Amino acid sequence: MIYYFSGTGNSAWVAKRLASYLGESVRNIVQVMADPSVSPIIDLEKEERLVFVFPVHSWGPAEYMRRFLGQLLIEGYEGQQVAAVCVCGDDCGRTDEIVSRLLMRQGVRLSACLSVCMPNNYILLPGFDVDDKALERQKLENAERQVAEVANSLLGNAEAMPVYMAGSMPALKTRLVNPLFRASLRLRNYFRATDQCVSCGLCERICPLKLITIGDDGRPRWKRHGCVQCLACLHRCPARAIEYGNITVKKGRYRHPDIK
């Protein structure tokens, strides 16, 4: 089974393509976490493979996946293959170490941690923007080969050449920058809708934490705290009517071509 989390569609695409290679089923963890009062449980079969696919946010696992792994109860584990596939814009830092520690808390060993490079989508800080269209196309074209290599590795193909892109100074990025990023998630968010809003309600429907409601005027309202910055609402708005303060006004938007 493949469990995934995705905001703008990159990780969803990777999970589904990987599933086609491995012959596995896929499940969105947002559905699994629908009731926050109940800990998610995975009951592993004897020969079952377990794979987690998720975005890398600031050189660590996306906060929603991190919470899922922290609450998850894995039953029936007897050494089955348990792997992680990190979906990154450039590099992953030591995301592998974080995932390994979360799983090891309940005696589950991370068998493999691999990565797939996909187009960037983080635009909430100065100097951060989406990739230009040429680089975006190149990353999407290369991703199929990378997913195939990941699949071959998990299937035990000795000729597979999978990659984990740690990048430069990986420990520093994960141990210093990632905690600062996570701390920032506790601060107030500044999402807002502009006059371009067409009141379609998509943002409300796709928010994984249900932090968006539609007001009487048809405009979305965000709860001030609790956002994990998956950026689904920002990038997937069909009218490009969502901004984060003013910092995103002149920046690009990205969603995977296969996602609506």
Going from N- to C-terminal start, the domains of the chain cover 2-181, 188-244
- Look at residue 246 and tell me whether its pLDDT is greater than 80: yes
Closest CA to 234 of 211, 215, 216, 218: 211
Stronger pLDDT, 213 or 157, i.e. the higher one:
213
Closest CA to 70 of 96, 105, 44, 37: 105
Please, what is the average pLDDT of the chain? 96
pLDDT given for residue 37 in this prediction? 73
Q: Distance between CA atoms of 191 and 242, rounded to whole angstroms? A: 7
- Look at residue 158 and tell me whether its pLDDT is greater than 70: no
Asked if CATH classification 3.40.50.300 holds for the domain at 2-181, the reply, yes or no, is no
Q: What is the pTM assigned to this prediction?
A: 0.96
List the single range of 38-42, 89-93, 135-139, 156-160 with lowest mean pLDDT: 156-160
pLDDT in tens, 27-64: 999 999 987 778 899 999 999 999 999 999 999 999 99
At 157, the pLDDT band (50, 70, 90 cuts) reads: confident
- Look at residue 259 and tell me whether its pLDDT is greater than 90: no
pLDDT given for residue 36 in this prediction? 73
> How large is the average pLDDT for residues 150-154?
95
Question: Same topology for domains 2-181 and 188-244, yes or no?
Answer: no
Whether 68 and 32 have beta carbons less than 8 Å apart is answered as yes
Closest CA to 7 of 218, 247, 182, 234: 234
pLDDT given for residue 76 in this prediction? 97
pLDDT given for residue 163 in this prediction? 86
- Note the CATH number of domain 188-244: 3.30.70.20
Using DSSP bridges, classify how beta strands 212-214 and 220-222 pair: parallel, antiparallel or unpaired.
antiparallel
pLDDT in tens, 63-98: 999 999 999 999 999 999 999 999 999 999 999 999
| One-letter amino acid of 25 | S
Closest CA to 121 of 209, 234, 37: 234
